[in-house]
Amino acid sequence: MPVSMTQKYNPAKIESKWQAKWEADGLYYADVDKSKKKYYALTMLPYPSGDLHIGHWYAMTPSDARARFLRMKGFNVMFPMGFDAFGLPAENAAIQHNIHPRDWTYKNIRHMREQLRSMGAMFDWRREAVSSDIKYYKWTQWFFLQFFNNDLAYRKKSPVDWCPQCNTTLAREQVWGEDRHCERCGTPVIKKDLEQWFFRITKYAEELLKFDEIDWPDRVRLLQTNWIGRSQGASVVFHTEQGDAMEIFTTRPDTLWGATFMVLAPEHPLVKKITTPEQRVKVETYVKKAVRQTDIQREKVDKEKTGIFTGGYAINPVNQKKIPIWVADYVLMTYGTGAIMAVPAHDQRDFAFARKFGMEVRVVIQPPDLPELNGANMPESVPAYGVMINSGSMTGTPAEQAFDKTIEYLEEIGVGKRAVNYHLRDWLISRQRYWGAPIPVVYCRNCGFVPVPEDQLPVVLPDDVEWKPTGESPLKLHPTWRFTKCPKCGGEATRETDTMDTFMCSSWYHLRYLSPDYDEGPFDPKEYDYWMPVDTYTGGVEHATMHLIYTRFFHRACRDLGITKGNEPMLQFRCQGQILGPDGQRMSKSRGNVIDPDKQVRLYGADTVRAFLMFGYRWSEGGLWDPGSITGVQRWLSRVWNLILDESEQGKETDKIQRGLRRKLHQTLRAVTHDFEQFEFNTIISSLMELSNFMLDAKEQGVFNTPAWNEAAEVLLCMMAPIMPHITEELWERLGKQYSIHTQPWPEVDHKAAEELVFTLVVQVNGRVRDRMIVPADISKQEAKEKALASEGARKYLQGKKPRKVIYVPGRLVNIVK
């Protein structure tokens, strides 16, 4: 008998009911339990922007499903959630809507917590961490002090974007357009040097290139490797005509004889010194303009080259040639030494520059497969792979040896040495902003920069600030907050008014989850020893460089300070793709193509939304939101509902159908188990759909409410439970099973039942074995004979003749009589 109307699947009713019960029961609490193997499943925490979007669901629900799966597999699984709550948008909201950043942030958090609850995820809310809570950022400040006291934090002058009209520093996202103007007033920004705080991440550059202890996607490893950007080469010292040493870094020391000019970055300290009086005005004007641009703009290879001659000359140390020194913006002060030797014959940027300004192009490497190169008429530079020519005593050195031999030679004559450079820069953590963790340092006229003693933490962010659209940090404008006593000498002192980059907060949130209320340290070591490292981390690939490098650095730095253990914080990382709007574009409010998950949940229920997101896409790839196919998933859930609750009378199961059902069931279980482990979520759902269809067929053939059927129903629900936690809990209860389905062990695969039933059919011709083949166990007499006759062995001996007789011995052989 089909399910009665009153029994219809109604997700709205059952979902909130179970969410409330799970929460009341603390079903998902994860506590240290040394008798069980732990599993720390972590998914990136959201920024409290106001609304959870479908992308959050796409990232989090499969992570939740996998965490649930591992829990059923017997692990003690922790799956925490929190908010990355400091940051600029709160401050912008404050200025625009006259609301305090704290109020804005916490209002959003309250709302998003509710939205997160509607997912039905197994978050252990007791472990929630919010980075803007005082009890959290106290420890962010504590970490800063550890870094400061161990020479991992330092202060240095560094350029910021500055609006001369608004008189303020601007964040990257407040500078607009190719001409780089201020978001607020349109004035072109300038660079201004400010004293700022840095973390010495470059100290760990080499270590961060090692990935052998972690299972991270190749893509992410490559992005990090490129971001760190290790370059091997040589540093060579040139001298100016006046005798000033000018060190350059090159990755191609073997091209040294081809250097026909030198280029200094506009910020290079030697520029002032070597510029001749005739060139001074021109050089100064050029420098002023150049430094306004970002390094990214300046580095573009195809950018029209600009530059200016300083009037000064240098001597090439290998051939004593006198070459002009220029200033050009394509050389960055932030890399190498901020000075280069230009080899136009073999480097394209130098080539473009040389052609534009009429400099010599001197070939010093001849690639073996090209006609003899001539600097005067080359249309472009030629990458330098070949035999060295025009290079003094090094002439004739083959390509493979050129690099090392030249370095040896440079060392011999004492003008250069092997050098490695990293593109990675130290991490600038100062923000001239209010809504962040104050940097716990005071400035004293007598003692300089003095760290706030640990027992005086936290340095609390004052609430009573005024929002003036000056762009200055309200901390600076606060009438009293800055003024304090020097912790060392007790004299008058002022607080640092910069706050920390929010990436600092998110570098250690996985540690705060361990014990969010702990106050004797950033985390409880007992929790640490049990839970760390994170077993699986999931999140967006857009965090491959900043966040995911910072957190690895943070962990290693803390390891060296004895705070953490091991080299890596996260053993496995997996990233999801992106859900685009139905129009194929990135979802954004301005395009009007945003899918609101709350609305989808109201329409279809959370289980359907979860299942659809996992079924409709390869998780690592993502794709377009397709409103059509979500209804298909919902219909499937209704079918399962009706199937499980069907009240028809017990059917009669034949041995054969029973075996077939068990085979299908255990094959599905084997595949689903594998797919959960491998993050292949879309195939899980399709396997489950197939199984439920198979069950429907089996039922029509009379297998219903029999042992095999009941096993299938139970295992189906268990396999569905991680993805669709509500409907499965409800059906589990209605089947009279013990609460909760989510604490059931993951079913064991019966490999024997899963085996395809086959046997080896022997083919005989006149009583002699001529062939063998694997056939299904239930092969019919007719089929067996046909297969045997078609076999290669049989055909070879029959040679096209009709056999006189064909005899089938079931389950064993076919004998063909000629």
Interaction site with ligand ANZ (CB under 6 A): 231, 249-252, 255, 331-332, 335-336, 338, 340-341, 343, 346-347, 384, 421
CA 321 to chain centre: 50
Question: Minimum Å distance from CB 638 to ligand ANZ?
Answer: 59
The item of ligand ANZ, Zn ion, none sharing an interface with residue 68, based on CB under 5 to 8 Å by kind, is none
CA 81 to chain centre: 17
Question: How many residues belong to the chain?
Answer: 818
Judged by CB under 5 A, does residue 489 bind Zn ion?
A: yes
Question: Cα separation of 643 and 778, whole Å?
Answer: 28
Question: Minimum Å distance from CB 454 to Zn ion?
Answer: 18
- Give the three-state DSSP class for 235: strand
Question: Minimum Å distance from CB 570 to ligand ANZ?
Answer: 29
Q: Which is nearer to ligand ANZ, 85 or 331 (CB)?
A: 331
The item of Zn ion, ligand ANZ, none sharing an interface with residue 486, based on CB under 5 to 8 Å by kind, is Zn ion
Which residue in 83, 100, 95 sits closest to 463, CA to CA? 100
Q: Which is nearer to ligand ANZ, 333 or 754 (CB)?
A: 333
Q: Which is nearer to Zn ion, 383 or 448 (CB)?
A: 448
Judged by CB under 5 A, does residue 443 bind Zn ion?
A: no
Question: Minimum Å distance from CB 266 to ligand ANZ?
Answer: 11
The item of ligand ANZ, Zn ion, none sharing an interface with residue 331, based on CB under 5 to 8 Å by kind, is ligand ANZ
Binding mask 391-430 for Zn ion (x = CB under 5 A): ----------------------------------------
Judged by CB under 5 A, does residue 370 bind Zn ion?
A: no
Question: Cα separation of 56 and 37, whole Å?
Answer: 29
Question: Cα separation of 144 and 153, whole Å?
Answer: 7
Q: Which is nearer to Zn ion, 484 or 658 (CB)?
A: 484
- Give the three-state DSSP class for 476: helix
Question: How far is residue 527 from each of residues 33, 158, 524, 661, measured CA to CA in Å?
Answer: 10, 40, 5, 45
Question: Minimum Å distance from CB 543 to ligand ANZ?
Answer: 24
The item of ligand ANZ, Zn ion, none sharing an interface with residue 338, based on CB under 5 to 8 Å by kind, is ligand ANZ
Between helix 707-720 and helix 725-734 the angle, nearest 10°, is: 150
- 338 with 290: CB under 8 angstroms? no
State the maximum Cα–Cα separation within the chain, in Å, rounded to a whole number.
Answer: 116
**CB under 8 Å to 764, separation ≥6 — which residues?**
770, 813, 814, 815, 816
**CB under 8 Å to 414, separation ≥6 — which residues?**
none
- Give the three-state DSSP class for 125: helix
What is the side-by-side strand order in the sheet with 441-444? 448-451, 441-444, 492-495, 483-485
Q: Which is nearer to ligand ANZ, 346 or 362 (CB)?
A: 346
Count of other CB atoms within 10 angstroms of residue 522 = 22
Q: Which is nearer to ligand ANZ, 57 or 335 (CB)?
A: 335
- 521 with 561: CB under 8 angstroms? no
Q: Which is nearer to ligand ANZ, 335 or 508 (CB)?
A: 335
Total residues binding Zn ion (CB under 5 A) = 7
Question: Minimum Å distance from CB 362 to ligand ANZ?
Answer: 12
Question: Minimum Å distance from CB 250 to ligand ANZ?
Answer: 3
Question: Minimum Å distance from CB 339 to ligand ANZ?
Answer: 7
Which residue in 331, 345, 159 sits closest to 248, CA to CA? 331
Return the residue nearest ligand ANZ (CB atom).
231
Question: Minimum Å distance from CB 482 to Zn ion?
Answer: 15
> Which residue(s) pair with 247 in the sheet?
237
Judged by CB under 5 A, does residue 488 bind Zn ion?
A: yes
Indicate the helix (H) or strand (E) that contains 78. strand 76-78
Judged by CB under 5 A, does residue 444 bind Zn ion?
A: yes
Stretch that binds Zn ion, among 182-190, 205-213, 445-453, 560-568 (CB under 5 A): 445-453
- 533 with 508: CB under 8 angstroms? no
DSSP 38-76: EEEEEEPPPP--SS--HHHHHHHHHHHHHHHHHHHTT-E
Residue identified by tokens 């092997």 is 418
Count of other CB atoms within 10 angstroms of residue 539 = 20
Judged by CB under 5 A, does residue 446 bind Zn ion?
A: yes
Name the amino acid, one letter, at 397: T
Question: Cα separation of 611 and 593, whole Å?
Answer: 21
The item of Zn ion, ligand ANZ, none sharing an interface with residue 444, based on CB under 5 to 8 Å by kind, is Zn ion
Question: Cα separation of 664 and 691, whole Å?
Answer: 7
The item of Zn ion, ligand ANZ, none sharing an interface with residue 488, based on CB under 5 to 8 Å by kind, is Zn ion
Q: Which is nearer to Zn ion, 487 or 702 (CB)?
A: 487
Stretch that binds Zn ion, among 119-127, 197-205, 489-497, 721-729 (CB under 5 A): 489-497
Question: Minimum Å distance from CB 446 to Zn ion?
Answer: 4
Question: Minimum Å distance from CB 561 to Zn ion?
Answer: 26
The item of Zn ion, ligand ANZ, none sharing an interface with residue 347, based on CB under 5 to 8 Å by kind, is ligand ANZ
Question: How far is residue 380 from each of residues 130, 366, 368, 372, measured CA to CA in Å?
Answer: 56, 14, 17, 14
Q: Which is nearer to ligand ANZ, 340 or 504 (CB)?
A: 340
**Strand pairing of 427-428 and 190-199?**
antiparallel
Q: Which is nearer to ligand ANZ, 76 or 158 (CB)?
A: 158
Q: Which is nearer to Zn ion, 52 or 493 (CB)?
A: 493
The item of ligand ANZ, Zn ion, none sharing an interface with residue 478, based on CB under 5 to 8 Å by kind, is none
The item of Zn ion, ligand ANZ, none sharing an interface with residue 446, based on CB under 5 to 8 Å by kind, is Zn ion
The token pair at 400 is 């493979």
> Which residue(s) pair with 772 in the sheet?
762
Question: Minimum Å distance from CB 487 to Zn ion?
Answer: 8
Q: Which is nearer to ligand ANZ, 283 or 331 (CB)?
A: 331
Question: Minimum Å distance from CB 484 to ligand ANZ?
Answer: 41
Judged by CB under 5 A, does residue 486 bind Zn ion?
A: yes
Judged by CB under 5 A, does residue 334 bind Zn ion?
A: no
Indicate the helix (H) or strand (E) that contains 312. strand 308-315
In the complex, which residues of this chain contact Zn ion (CB under 5 A)?
444, 446-447, 486, 488-489, 491
